[in-house]
Structure 1
Amino acid sequence: MSSVTQLANILDKIPSSIEILPDESYEFIQQAGSPDAHQAATPFLFIEGNLGVPKKALYRAYVEALVIFASAKKGTFGEGVYSAQAVHTLVASSVVILLANPGHLTALNVRKRLVQRRVLDSKRELELTAALLTSRNCSNQSILWHHRQWLLHRIYGLFDGTMQSSEAQNTLSQIRTSPDGEISSHVLVSREVIDKELSIASRACEIYSRNYFAWTHRHFCMELVMHSLNSIMDPTYLEEMAKLVSDEVIAIRLWIERHISDSSAVHYLVILIERLSAAGLIGILPFAFPHPENRLLPNVNDIAQTGAKDFFSSMSHAMSLLRSYPDHESLWHYFRAISHLADAKGDDIQAFTHSFIYPWACRSLSPSGFDSMRITIYAYRFLVWQAFQVGTSI
């Protein structure tokens, strides 16, 4: 059995995690196998659903898979003759190619065509991409995230494209059906589905720090939830989605506390709060209320009041982090963005400015352990921004 076939068969079982192992593990795995000669020669580890692939073995299989893939592709699409064997070979070789080179556009496009022909099951393909994204080699590949979003669109009838922060207001302006006609109407996506997507994005950010494409995928998921909060009338579903957004805000606050240099996380949280505020939805979130029975308020004035409470909560969070880690520029961005959303002239902001930011700007506050010059620069930048905000709002 060739290494391509071996690896493809293992990947067909959908591993829970995949790791590319260093080159020296190739010889170690061969020598540490069972007495059985075949097992001793197997260059892959597959234990309790976790797959380890030595880099040397992977790239040998990749070179072989490229040749097999080209031949099978011609046999499947080139002559217009549908060959079951060629399709099987194409599926097996393409998945090996994607593990080694997740940016291989041709392999992904072929798999899309097979999904459209219903040769590949959409949900199973979604599971496979989730497995691939557990590998650091794959987790920062934009094209693989786009493939996953395409599958989500096909299965659930979602919107086309991925939300960019500058397009946040218009992403969900229209719900479209699948271009090949498989989806006839918009399907409500359960919290379980969204939670899984957020979990995949979180894991990708852990294994590849500052993973822009994983955070963009998170935007994609929350825009779907935002659309549901704006358009779906079912109270049970609304409450489920509202609780999801609440949990997401709390989870990202905790993430920022543990990854204080992650500017992508800060940007995501600010955009999320900004979207909730602009849509008039921030007041329905459970984290804004002391009691669960007050989650869904019909009164607009009550929503406005609780929205202000949440801004105060976010402001307190930003101030607390900035006091603890003033030498991290990402936290200054966090505080400035929340200040802009709340009110740059607010009493809490002004009090914090006089008690904390002015002393740093004047260099009268310089505890040991910090780069005081850097913090002074950040403080001056904030004061310039604040002066501009106050001046333009008069």
Structure 2
Amino acid sequence: MILTDAPAEIDKQYVKHLVSTKMEQDSLSPVVFVENKLGLAYWCLSQLYAHSLLKYNQIKSLVGTRDKSVIEEIKRITRIMLLVNSDNYTIWGVRKKCIETLLELGENSLNILQEEIRLLNLINSKHPKSGESWEHRGWLLGKLFPTISEPDYIIDFCVEETRITERTCVLYSRCYYAWKHCIVLMQHVKSVNNKQLTRSWIQKELLRLEKWTRKNVSDHSSFHYLRYILEADLKDICDAEEAGHKLIRLTRQFHYCQFLILFFPGHESLWLYRRMLWGLLMDLSENVMLNGSSLSGVEEQVERSQQEFKLYEEEYQYKIPTLKNELVYAEQCANDSHMADFHKQRSYALAYQLYILESASKNMSLQSETNSLQQVLLTRDLTSGQSNVDLIQHKATHVLHLLKGNEQSAQVALWNQKIQLKI
């Protein structure tokens, strides 16, 4: 077992116990400690855990005591147990009690909590997908941040935490708990009483996630986190001008998603991400009144995207994300048999069409403003001579028929239940 970033003060009594045990068998030490990397031979793990458990059973009746020396001994014993088995929920609870007691005794909260986080960094190097350790990490942040008054320190700390989570995800891909921890960090950043720092952090996270998702297109958890970042970015709209800027940034995400879908076809995570973007677009545009600059900035973003996310297929061009354009784009993907994983791509594209049709039907039924940006996005370029209701119903029926022909019976049954075109 290899543990990286191990602290120099590794408990010597346990190392001595292991060395003496092994020396009885041969002259090879089971412990290697080089450049803050601790290596333990696998044969010794069971003995190490058994020895620590014995010590813990001798002292566990004292859990909850206010004697500092006893608390430190409990922490030292449980530290070894968690290095071997990080999913021991009971032991994590014991450490929580010890930390809370030390805080009540007036110990330096910052030092105590940072020491515990260093231990978690060590544990995560071996057990990155331990849900209990990530939960404990979030609990620590809830204790730590209320004691900090400087917004800059909180932001810097969260930046360091995101670096740790990204390193974990690089070594062990699709680590759900690491991305969930990022959501916890974002919630703490949003609570900082400094909008400029918060917005700067959100923008940096968006750029970081774009680089990550481009290399990990099947990582559903990272796209789920990206959703929360975008929602945080789009909240608290003060005026029409700010709403216009956020609409431009959201349009850029549509184009980025289109770029990924065309270069990495057949990945459901990308189509689910596009559904989320459509939902955010409807929420953002619902209360924005149409003015001369509402769509002009979006049209400029279309031109910028042509350079930033270059496409070589002439039939796939970036456009304003209206209902009509989204339906056309999904239909192109569903009919492009030259794409890799065509059958998957077709299924996901048809399901996306049904999703935005259902969304459009609900939003049209709730519209009260005739000149809202949402209405423009839903009705722009639709065929004249037929009501929007009839157009949506006709298109939904057609897509359901295609899904049946594509042998997606379960999906068809699901959407037959979900889509209710009552306007």
Question: One fold, TM greater than 0.5?
Answer: yes
Structure 1 residues 187 and 81: alpha-carbon distance in aligned structure 2, compared to 1, 3 A threshold: closer
Instruction: Write out per-residue CA displacement over residues 267-315 of structure 1, whole angstroms, 9 at most, x where no aligned residue.
Output: 11122212322333xxxxxxxxxxxxxxxxxx73331121111011111
1:351, distance to aligned residue in structure 2 (A): 6.5
The farther-off stretch of 326-335 and 105-114 is: 105-114
8 Å CA contact 1:133–1:200 kept in 2: the answer is no
- Is the CA contact (8 Å cut-off) linking 1:65 and 1:96 kept in structure 2? yes
CA deviations on 1:128-175 (whole Å, 9 max, x unpaired) are 11221222xx22122211211222222221xxxxxxxxxxxxxxxxxx
Q: Runs of 5+ in structure 1 lacking a partner?
A: 1-6, 16-25, 31-35, 158-182, 281-298
The residue type equivalent to 1:358 in the other structure is E
Task: Give the deviation of 1:186 after TM superposition.
Answer: 6.0
Quote the Cα distance in structure 2 between the aligned partners of 1:83 and 1:190. Answer: 29
The code of the aligned residue for 1:209 comes to S
Per-residue CA distance 1:49-76 (angstroms, 9 max, x = gap): 12223333223211221111111223x3
> Would you say 1:48 and 2:35 are equivalent positions?
yes
Q: Are the equivalent residues in 2 in contact too, given 1:358–1:379 (CA < 8 A)?
A: yes
Q: Which runs of 5+ in 2 are unaligned?
A: 11-17, 286-318, 365-423
C-alpha change, 1:152 and 1:200, in structure 2 (3 Å) is same
Per the alignment, residue 13 of structure 1 pairs with: 8
Q: 2:130 aligns with which of 141, 144, 147?
A: 141
1:251 to 184, 205, 208: 208
Classify 1:73/1:41 alpha carbon distance in 2 versus 1 (closer, same or farther; 3 Å): farther
TM-superposed deviation, 1:381:
0.5
Corresponding residue for 1:221? 185
The AA in structure 2 aligned to 1:77 is: V
Q: Is residue 2:204 matched to residue 1:262?
A: no
Distance 2:143 2:320 in 1: 49
Are the counterparts in 2 of residues 132 and 139 from structure 1 also a CA contact under 8 Å?
Answer: yes
Pairwise CA RMSD? 3.3
Equivalent position of 1:303 in the other structure: 242
Once the 2 structures are TM-superposed, how far is the Cα of residue 37 of structure 1 from its aligned partner? Answer: 11
Alpha-carbon spacing, 1:190–1:360, altered in 2? closer, same or farther (3 Å): closer
Secondary structure at the aligned position of 2:121 is classed as helix
1-side partners of 2:93 and 2:359: how far apart? Answer: 48
Contact persistence 2:179–2:221 (CA under 8 A): yes
User: How many Å separate the matches in 1 of 2:67 and 2:360?
Assistant: 68
The 3 A distance-change label for structure 1 pair 60 and 268 is same
- TM-score normalised to structure 2 length: 0.65
Q: Within 5 Å, which residues of 2 pair with 1:128-277? A: 128-135=119-126, 138-157=127-146, 183=147, 188=151, 189-228=153-192, 232=193, 237-277=194-234
Look at both structures and tell me which one has the larger radius of gyration over its CA atoms.
Answer: 2
Matched, 1:321 2:321: no
In structure 1, the partner of 2:414 is none
Q: Does 1:358 align with 2:342?
A: no
Contact 2:113 2:140 in 1 (8 A): yes
What is the DSSP-based 3-state SS (H/G/I as helix, E as strand, rest coil) of the residue aligned with 1:308? Answer: helix
Q: TM-score, normalised by structure 1?
A: 0.70
Residue 326 of structure 1 contacts residue 332 of structure 1 at CA under 8 Å; is this kept in 2? no
- Aligned residue pairs total 310
1:306-350 deviations in Å (ceiling 9; x for gaps): 111101111111111111112101011111211222249984355
8 Å CA contact 1:139, 1:204 repeated in 2: yes
Shift of 1:219: 0.4
